[in-house]
C-alpha cells in the first residue's frame, strides 16, 4: 500500500471478508483506521477518512494467483501530514473534456490528493463560461492555430486548425459536486494581470492599448496584459463573483505570475494610478492590483492564493503564496506570516521530462524523474520552527503546452503522482524509496488493469558517466531489474541479445555512440537508450568552478562540462549547468602540458525560461595554475550573432591549464519574460583540441 503512518502485517492472506464502515465523528480530519483480520474488514474514520481507508484497501488487494481477491491482515492507523495535497491541470493550452476532468479527479482522490487546482484561463484559451461576458468563451475559448513542435524550434511552424472549447456553468457545477463526493476541493484559477491574451481578444478595451489582438497560438509570456484601470477591476470583480458562486472552496487562485510591465510603463491610465496612489513603480502597481482584488474576494468571505510573483511590490495582507520559482518565495511568505503551498519547478513540475529526452514524448524541458519527486521535502530546512505551520502542503503542476491528449496527461502524471502522494501524506520518517519502489510495482499493475497509461521510464536503463580511470570517460549502465541482462553496442547499431553483455564500466576514448537495452533472454524488454559522446582533450579532466552552479541546475556538478555529453535541445536540466547571480568561471587542469589550438564553450538560450547567452566570454591559459594569460576576449558585439558555441581557433600554443570566464546578462530586456531580472547563464561542455 502507498500510504501509511503505522502498519503491521499480522498474518497471511485471507479471502471472503465482510467490510464494515464506521463513521467516527471524533476521528481527526481525513484520518482512518483500517483493520483486516480473518473475519472482517473494518474501516473507521471521518467521512473523508473512510473514503481513504477504502482506497487503501483497494490498493492492498491482490489477485495475482488468480485464486480470487485477497488482502493481508493488517492494522493501519493513518493520517495525512499536510492539509494541501494538490494537483494542477492546465486546460487552456490544451482543452480536456468534462469526462476526462472527472477521471482526473478520480486519480487524485484515489491517491489521497484533496486539492484540484484548475487552471481555467490563460493566453491560449478562456475555458469557463461567464454569463455576464459571453465573448470570453465565444471568442476567447478558441484559437486560430497552434504551434507545432517546440517553441525553441526555428523557424516556428503553426497548424491552421481552429482549436478550443470551454466548460459551461452547468458542467462546472457537475464537476464540483463530483469532486466534493470524492473529498476533492477545486481551486479555480483566473489569471491576472498577465496571461490574459484570450480575455483581451474578447474584450480589447481592458488592455492598455485597446488594440485588437488574437488568442495566442504559441507559448510564452505576452506583453498585452490587463490594464490596471477601474474598468478592468469592475470586469474582474464581476467575473470573480460568478466564479465564487460556482466554487464553494475557500481559495480562489488569481495567478499573478509572469506579468511584463511594458504596456503599463507606456499607459496613461496605469501611470495616473501610480501617481495618484503614490506607488514607486510598476511592481507596486502589480501589488496594488492584487491587493484590490484581494479586498473584493475577502469581502465575499474567500481567500486569494497566487504564484510567488505576488510578493513583488509587497504581498496583499491575507494572500497565500504558491511558490513555483524555487522555494525562496515560499520561505519569504512564511516568514511574513502568510500561508504557502510549495510547488517548485525543480520537484513539482510534471510537464518536465521523467526520463532521458531521446526516449520521451516532446516536453517543455527540465528533468524531474520519479526519485526526485519522491525526495521532495515541502518544509524547507531554512524555515524556523514557529513558521513551519505556514506551509499548508505541496502541489504538482501539469502545464499542457506539449501535452495534447488525455493519454499523454496520464503518462506525465503517472507514476509521479504516486510519489508526490507519499510526499504530502507520509511523515518523513516513514518515507523510504526502496519500499516505495516495491509498492509501486503493485500499483502499476493495478493502473494497467484500469487502462491508465503509466510511464515506465523509471525502469529504463540509466547511464552514469565518470572521469575515465585511464583517460576519456567511463560509462556505467544500470537497470531497475537486476535479474535481467543489459546488452549494448558502441558502433551505432541497435543492440540485440548477441551484443556484448554489460558487466563493468565501458571506457570511451573516442567519439562514440553507446546504445543499450534490457533483455530477458533473447527478448528486449526496455526501450533502447542511446547516447553520443564527443571526446576531446578536456574530456574527463579535472575541472574546478569558482562558483557552484545553482542547486536546481547542478546535476553532475562541474564534471558535467567535460563529460563528453553535449547539452541537448530542447534543454532539460541534466546536461546543463545553470548559474544565477554569479558569473561563470572554470579552470581545467590537463595534468600535463598540452598543445592547444581550439577552445570551445557551449551556451544555451531559452528566453521563456529567462536563460540568455553571455555578454562576455574570455579564454585564458596558464602553465602553473596561478598566473593566467588571456588568449581571447569576446565582447557583446562579438557574441551578438553567436549560436550556442563560442569557438576560439588559433595557432597552437602550450598550456597545462585553461580558464573560461563568462559574464551573464544583467537585466532581461523589457517585453521579455522576466524583464528586469538578471538572466540565467546555462553552459554545457567545454571542448579543447
Ligand atoms: C508558472 O509556472 N508560470 C506559474
Ligand atoms: Zn494601462
* Residue 338 is a catalytic residue: no
Considering only 152-161, 292-301, 326-335, which range has the smallest mean pLDDT? 152-161
Question: Is residue 8 predicted with pLDDT exceeding 50?
Answer: no
pLDDT, tens only, 484-531: 899 999 999 999 999 999 999 999 999 999 999 999 899 887 778 889
Question: 669: how many CB neighbours lie within 10 A of its CB?
Answer: 13
Question: Is residue 391 predicted with pLDDT exceeding 50?
Answer: yes
Question: Quick one: pLDDT at residue 476?
Answer: 94
Residue 258: CB within 6 Å of ligand 1? yes
pLDDT, tens only, 536-549: 999 999 999 999 99
- 575-595 mean pLDDT: 94
**Ligand 1 closest atom vs CA 258:** 3
With a CB cutoff of 8 Å and minimum separation 6, the contacts of 533 are 473, 475, 508, 511, 512, 513, 514, 539, 564, 565
Residue closest by Cα to atom 3 of ligand 1: 257
Question: Quick one: pLDDT at residue 38?
Answer: 87
- 385-389 mean pLDDT: 98
Residue 349: CB within 6 Å of ligand 1? no
Which one of the ligands is nearest to 226 CA?
2
Question: Is residue 9 predicted with pLDDT exceeding 70?
Answer: no
3-state DSSP assignment of residue 231:
helix
Question: Quick one: pLDDT at residue 608?
Answer: 80
* Residue with more model confidence, 408 or 445: 408
Residue closest by Cα to atom 2 of ligand 1: 324
**What separation in Å is there between the alpha carbon of 225 and the centre of ligand 2?**
8
Residue 577 contacts residue 614 (beta carbons within 8 Å): no
* Residue with more model confidence, 343 or 606: 343
Question: Quick one: pLDDT at residue 274?
Answer: 98
Question: Is residue 17 predicted with pLDDT exceeding 80?
Answer: no
Question: Quick one: pLDDT at residue 337?
Answer: 98
* Residue 377 is a catalytic residue: no
Which one of the ligands is nearest to 269 CA?
2
Which one of the ligands is nearest to 259 CA?
1
| Helix 282-299 × helix 230-246 angle, to 10° | 40
Q: Tell me which of 190, 324, 610 to substitute to probe ligand 1's pocket, judged by most ligand atoms within 8 Å of the beta carbon.
A: 324
Question: Quick one: pLDDT at residue 627?
Answer: 96
Residue 307: CB within 6 Å of ligand 1? yes
| CA distances to 152, 334, 370, 603, 611 from 645, in Å | 16, 42, 32, 6, 15
Give the mean pLDDT of the chain: 93
> Cα separation of 456 and 108, whole Å?
20
- 2-16 mean pLDDT: 40
**Ligand 1 closest atom vs CA 195:** 3
For the record, the C-alpha cell of 91 comes out as 486546460
Q: Tell me which of 190, 399, 609 to substitute to probe ligand 1's pocket, judged by most ligand atoms within 8 Å of the beta carbon.
A: 399
Question: Is residue 68 predicted with pLDDT exceeding 50?
Answer: yes
- Give the residue among 587, 599, 594, 589 at the shortest CA–CA distance from 659: 587
pTM: 0.81
Question: Quick one: pLDDT at residue 454?
Answer: 95
pLDDT, tens only, 110-154: 999 999 999 999 999 999 999 999 999 999 999 999 999 988 777
**What separation in Å is there between the alpha carbon of 87 and the centre of ligand 1?**
14
**What separation in Å is there between the alpha carbon of 324 and the centre of ligand 1?**
7
Which one of the ligands is nearest to 258 CA?
1
Question: Quick one: pLDDT at residue 387?
Answer: 98
pLDDT, tens only, 273-323: 999 999 999 999 999 999 999 999 999 999 999 999 999 999 999 999 999
What string of DSSP letters covers 373-432? HHT--SS-TTS-GGGGGGEEEEEEB---TT--SHHHHHHHHTTHHHHHHHHHHS-GGG--
pLDDT, tens only, 335-367: 999 999 999 999 999 999 998 777 789 999 888
**Ligand 1 closest atom vs CA 255:** 4
* Residue with more model confidence, 191 or 19: 191
pLDDT, tens only, 240-256: 999 999 999 999 999 99
Residue 257: CB within 6 Å of ligand 1? yes
Question: Quick one: pLDDT at residue 155?
Answer: 80
Catalytic choice (195, 338, 347, 352): 195
| CA distances to 312, 471, 541, 558, 687 from 466, in Å | 42, 10, 10, 12, 17
pLDDT, tens only, 646-655: 888 888 899 9
* Residue 122 is a catalytic residue: yes
Query: pLDDT category, 64, cuts 50, 70, 90?
Result: low
> Cα separation of 359 and 344, whole Å?
25
pLDDT, tens only, 490-500: 999 999 999 99
Question: Is residue 1 predicted with pLDDT exceeding 60?
Answer: no
Amino acid at each position: 500500500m502507498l500510504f501509511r503512518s503505522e502498519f503491521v502485517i499480522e498474518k497471511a492472506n485471507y479471502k471472503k471478508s465482510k467490510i464494515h464502515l464506521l463513521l467516527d465523528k471524533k476521528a481527526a480530519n481525513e484520518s482512518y483506521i483500517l483493520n483486516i483480520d480473518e473475519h472482517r474488514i473494518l474501516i473507521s474514520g471521518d467521512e473523508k477518512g473512510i473514503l481513504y481507508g477504502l482506497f487503501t484497501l483497494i490498493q492492498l488487494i491482490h489477485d495475482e494467483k488468480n485464486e480470487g481477491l485477497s488482502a493481508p491482515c493488517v492494522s493501519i492507523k493513518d493520517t495525512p501530514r499536510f492539509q494541501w495535497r494538490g494537483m494542477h491541470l492546465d486546460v487552456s493550452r490544451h482543452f480536456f473534456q468534462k469526462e476526462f476532468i472527472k477521471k482526473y479527479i478520480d486519480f487524485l482522490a484515489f491517491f489521497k490528493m484533496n486539492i484540484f487546482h484548475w487552471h481555467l484561463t490563460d493566453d491560449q484559451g478562456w475555458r469557463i463560461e461567464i454569463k455576464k461576458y459571453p465573448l470570453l468563451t465565444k471568442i476567447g475559448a478558441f484559437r486560430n492555430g497552434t504551434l507545432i513542435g517546440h517553441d525553441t524550434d526555428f523557424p516556428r511552424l503553426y497548424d491552421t486548425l481552429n482549436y478550443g472549447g470551454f466548460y459551461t456553468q452547468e458542467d462546472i457545477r457537475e464537476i464540483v459536486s463530483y469532486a466534493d463526493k470524492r473529498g476533492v476541493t477545486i481551486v479555480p484559477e483566473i489569471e491576472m494581470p498577465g496571461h490574459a491574451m484570450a480575455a483581451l481578444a474578447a474584450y480589447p478595451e481592458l488592455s492598455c492599448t485597446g488594440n485588437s489582438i488574437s488568442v495566442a497560438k504559441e507559448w510564452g509570456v505576452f506583453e498585452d496584459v490587463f490594464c490596471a484601470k477601474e474598468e478592468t477591476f469592475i470586469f474582474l470583480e464581476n467575473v470573480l463573483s460568478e466564479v465564487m458562486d460556482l466554487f464553494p472552496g475557500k481559495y480562489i487562485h488569481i495567478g499573478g505570475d509572469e506579468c511584463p510591465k511594458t504596456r503599463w510603463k507606456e499607459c496613461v491610465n496605469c501611470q495616473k494610478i501610480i501617481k495618484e496612489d503614490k506607488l514607486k513603480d510598476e511592481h507596486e502597481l502589480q501589488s496594488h492590483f492584487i491587493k484590490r482584488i484581494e479586498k473584493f474576494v475577502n469581502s465575499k468571505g474567500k481567500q486569494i492564493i497566487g504564484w510567488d510573483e505576488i510578493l513583488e511590490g509587497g504581498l496583499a495582507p491575507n494572500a497565500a503564496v504558491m511558490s513555483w520559482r524555487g522555494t525562496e518565495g515560499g520561505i519569504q511568505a512564511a516568514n511574513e506570516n502568510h500561508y504557502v503551498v510549495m510547488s517548485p519547478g525543480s520537484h513539482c513540475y510534471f510537464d518536465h521530462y521523467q526520463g532521458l529526452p531521446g526516449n520521451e514524448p516532446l516536453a517543455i524541458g527540465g528533468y524531474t524523474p520519479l526519485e526526485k519527486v519522491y525526495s521532495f521535502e515541502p518544509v524547507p530546512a531554512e524555515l524556523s520552527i514557529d513558521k513551519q505551520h505556514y506551509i499548508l502542503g505541496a502541489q504538482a503542476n501539469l502545464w499542457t503546452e506539449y501535452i495534447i491528449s488525455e493519454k499523454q496527461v496520464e503518462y506525465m502524471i503517472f507514476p509521479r503522482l504516486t510519489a508526490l502522494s507519499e510526499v504530502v501524506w507520509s511523515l518523513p520518517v516513514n518515507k523510504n524509496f526502496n519500499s516505495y519502489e516495491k509498492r509501486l510495482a503493485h500499483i502499476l499493475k493495478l493502473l494497467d488493469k484500469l487502462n491508465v497509461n503509466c510511464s515506465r521510464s523509471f525502469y529504463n536503463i540509466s547511464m552514469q558517466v565518470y572521469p575515465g580511470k585511464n583517460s576519456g570517460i567511463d560509462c556505467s549502465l544500470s537497470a531497475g531489474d537486476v535479474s535481467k541482462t543489459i546488452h549494448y553496442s558502441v558502433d551505432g547499431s541497435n543492440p540485440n541479445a548477441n551484443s556484448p553483455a554489460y558487466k563493468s564500466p565501458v571506457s570511451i576514448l573516442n567519439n562514440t555512440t553507446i546504445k543499450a537495452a534490457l533483455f530477458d533472454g533473447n527478448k528486449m524488454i526496455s526501450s533502447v537508450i542511446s547516447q553520443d559522446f564527443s571526446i576531446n582533450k578536456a574530456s574527463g579532466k579535472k575541472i574546478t568552478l569558482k562558483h557552484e552552479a545553482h542547486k536546481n541546475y547542478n546535476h553532475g556538478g562541474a564534471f558535467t562540462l567535460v563529460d563528453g555529453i553535449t547539452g541537448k535541445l530542447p534543454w532539460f536540466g541534466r546536461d546543463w549547468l545553470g548559474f544565477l547571480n554569479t558569473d561563470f568561471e572554470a579552470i581545467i587542469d590537463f595534468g600535463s602540458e598540452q598543445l592547444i589550438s581550439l577552445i570551445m564553450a557551449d551556451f544555451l538560450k531559452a528566453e521563456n525560461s529567462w536563460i540568455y547567452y553571455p555578454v562576455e566570454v574570455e579564454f585564458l591559459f596558464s602553465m602553473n595554475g596561478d598566473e593566467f594569460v588571456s588568449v581571447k576576449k569576446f565582447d557583446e558585439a562579438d557574441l551578438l550573432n553567436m549560436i550556442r558555441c563560442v569557438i576560439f581557433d588559433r595557432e597552437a600554443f602550450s598550456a597545462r591549464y585553461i580558464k573560461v570566464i563568462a559574464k551573464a546578462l544583467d537585466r532581461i530586456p523589457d517585453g521579455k519574460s522576466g524583464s528586469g531580472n538578471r538572466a540565467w547563464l546555462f553552459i554545457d561542455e567545454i571542448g579543447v583540441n
